[in-house]
Amino acid sequence: MKYAQNSRIDFLLSAEGMADCYVEVKSVTLLENGQGYFPDAASTRGQKHLQDLMQMVDEGHRAVLLFLVQHEGIFNVSAAAHIDPVYADLLEQAKAHGVQVIALKARREGEKYLADQVLNDSLGEKG
Protein backbone atom coordinates (compact mmCIF):
# COMPACT_ATOMS: atom_id res chain seq x y z
CA MET A 1 0.00 0.00 0.00
CA LYS A 2 1.36 3.39 -0.94
CA TYR A 3 1.95 5.97 1.77
CA ALA A 4 4.12 8.98 2.58
CA GLN A 5 6.18 10.15 -0.36
CA ASN A 6 6.15 7.38 -2.96
CA SER A 7 6.74 4.54 -0.51
CA ARG A 8 4.97 1.26 0.06
CA ILE A 9 4.24 0.03 3.55
CA ASP A 10 4.42 -3.67 4.33
CA PHE A 11 1.35 -3.69 6.59
CA LEU A 12 -1.32 -1.16 7.46
CA LEU A 13 -3.26 -2.17 10.55
CA SER A 14 -6.49 -0.39 11.28
CA ALA A 15 -9.33 -0.75 13.74
CA GLU A 16 -12.29 1.43 14.49
CA GLY A 17 -11.51 4.05 17.10
CA MET A 18 -7.75 3.52 16.94
CA ALA A 19 -4.96 5.25 15.06
CA ASP A 20 -3.78 3.47 11.93
CA CYS A 21 -0.57 1.52 12.47
CA TYR A 22 2.05 1.50 9.70
CA VAL A 23 4.40 -1.50 9.92
CA GLU A 24 7.65 -1.74 7.98
CA VAL A 25 9.36 -5.16 8.08
CA LYS A 26 13.11 -5.62 7.64
CA SER A 27 14.85 -8.98 7.39
CA VAL A 28 18.02 -9.27 9.46
CA THR A 29 20.52 -11.54 7.74
CA LEU A 30 23.97 -10.20 8.65
CA LEU A 31 25.79 -12.02 11.44
CA GLU A 32 29.23 -10.81 12.57
CA ASN A 33 30.96 -12.18 15.67
CA GLY A 34 27.70 -13.40 17.19
CA GLN A 35 25.92 -10.08 16.55
CA GLY A 36 23.09 -9.49 14.07
CA TYR A 37 23.09 -6.23 12.14
CA PHE A 38 20.83 -4.27 9.84
CA PRO A 39 21.34 -3.13 7.16
CA ASP A 40 23.88 -5.40 5.49
CA ALA A 41 24.70 -2.70 2.91
CA ALA A 42 24.24 1.07 2.74
CA SER A 43 20.53 1.61 2.19
CA THR A 44 19.10 4.92 1.03
CA ARG A 45 15.78 3.11 0.64
CA GLY A 46 15.93 1.98 4.27
CA GLN A 47 16.79 5.53 5.32
CA LYS A 48 13.74 6.80 3.42
CA HIS A 49 11.52 4.24 5.16
CA LEU A 50 12.64 5.56 8.55
CA GLN A 51 11.83 9.12 7.49
CA ASP A 52 8.43 7.98 6.21
CA LEU A 53 7.64 6.24 9.51
CA MET A 54 8.51 9.43 11.40
CA GLN A 55 6.16 11.32 9.08
CA MET A 56 3.36 8.89 9.99
CA VAL A 57 3.96 9.61 13.68
CA ASP A 58 3.79 13.34 12.89
CA GLU A 59 0.43 12.75 11.22
CA GLY A 60 -0.93 11.10 14.37
CA HIS A 61 -0.52 7.47 13.36
CA ARG A 62 1.35 4.66 15.04
CA ALA A 63 4.52 3.49 13.28
CA VAL A 64 6.37 0.23 13.86
CA LEU A 65 9.68 -0.96 12.46
CA LEU A 66 9.81 -4.75 12.76
CA PHE A 67 13.15 -6.50 12.38
CA LEU A 68 12.52 -10.15 11.52
CA VAL A 69 15.40 -12.52 12.28
CA GLN A 70 15.37 -15.86 10.49
CA HIS A 71 19.09 -16.65 10.92
CA GLU A 72 19.54 -19.31 13.59
CA GLY A 73 22.74 -17.72 14.93
CA ILE A 74 21.32 -14.25 15.61
CA PHE A 75 19.97 -13.51 19.08
CA ASN A 76 20.89 -9.84 19.33
CA VAL A 77 20.29 -7.11 16.73
CA SER A 78 21.81 -3.66 16.36
CA ALA A 79 22.00 -1.00 13.68
CA ALA A 80 25.03 -1.54 11.45
CA ALA A 81 26.66 1.86 11.93
CA HIS A 82 29.90 0.44 10.55
CA ILE A 83 28.08 -0.18 7.26
CA ASP A 84 25.51 2.63 7.10
CA PRO A 85 26.07 5.32 9.75
CA VAL A 86 23.28 7.47 8.27
CA TYR A 87 20.77 4.64 8.79
CA ALA A 88 22.00 4.10 12.35
CA ASP A 89 21.57 7.81 13.14
CA LEU A 90 18.12 7.91 11.54
CA LEU A 91 17.09 4.85 13.54
CA GLU A 92 18.00 6.68 16.75
CA GLN A 93 15.99 9.70 15.56
CA ALA A 94 13.02 7.49 14.65
CA LYS A 95 12.99 5.88 18.09
CA ALA A 96 13.15 9.28 19.77
CA HIS A 97 10.38 10.44 17.44
CA GLY A 98 8.02 7.70 18.59
CA VAL A 99 8.56 4.95 16.04
CA GLN A 100 8.29 1.64 17.88
CA VAL A 101 11.14 -0.75 17.07
CA ILE A 102 10.68 -4.49 17.60
CA ALA A 103 12.96 -7.44 16.79
CA LEU A 104 11.38 -10.88 16.48
CA LYS A 105 13.14 -14.18 15.93
CA ALA A 106 11.40 -16.60 13.62
CA ARG A 107 11.71 -20.35 13.73
CA ARG A 108 10.46 -23.07 11.50
CA GLU A 109 7.98 -25.51 12.91
CA GLY A 110 6.94 -28.09 10.36
CA GLU A 111 5.45 -26.31 7.37
CA LYS A 112 5.18 -22.90 9.04
CA TYR A 113 7.35 -20.18 10.48
CA LEU A 114 6.60 -18.69 13.87
CA ALA A 115 7.90 -15.27 14.87
CA ASP A 116 7.36 -15.55 18.58
CA GLN A 117 10.60 -14.68 20.34
CA VAL A 118 11.16 -11.00 21.12
CA LEU A 119 14.84 -10.16 20.96
CA ASN A 120 16.76 -7.50 22.85
CA ASP A 121 15.89 -3.84 22.80
CA SER A 122 19.38 -2.73 21.74
CA LEU A 123 18.23 -1.72 18.28
CA GLY A 124 19.40 1.73 17.54
CA GLU A 125 22.62 1.29 19.47
CA LYS A 126 25.47 1.85 17.10
CA GLY A 127 27.23 -1.40 16.39
Query: Mean pLDDT, to the nearest integer, of 11-17?
Result: 95
Given pLDDT bands bounded at 50, 70 and 90, which one contains residue 120? low
pLDDT beyond 60 at 13: yes
Q: What is the DSSP letter of 41?
A: S
Give the three-state DSSP class for 18.
Answer: coil
Strands (DSSP E) along 39-111, which ranges? 62-69, 77-79, 100-109
Whole-number pLDDT of residue 119: 82
Q: Give the residue from 5, 37, 3 showing the smallest Cα distance to 22.
A: 3
Q: pTM for the complete prediction?
A: 0.88
| Residues 6+ away with beta carbon under 8 Å from 36 | 28, 30, 69, 71, 74, 75, 76, 77, 78
Query: Mean pLDDT, to the nearest integer, of 4-10?
Result: 85
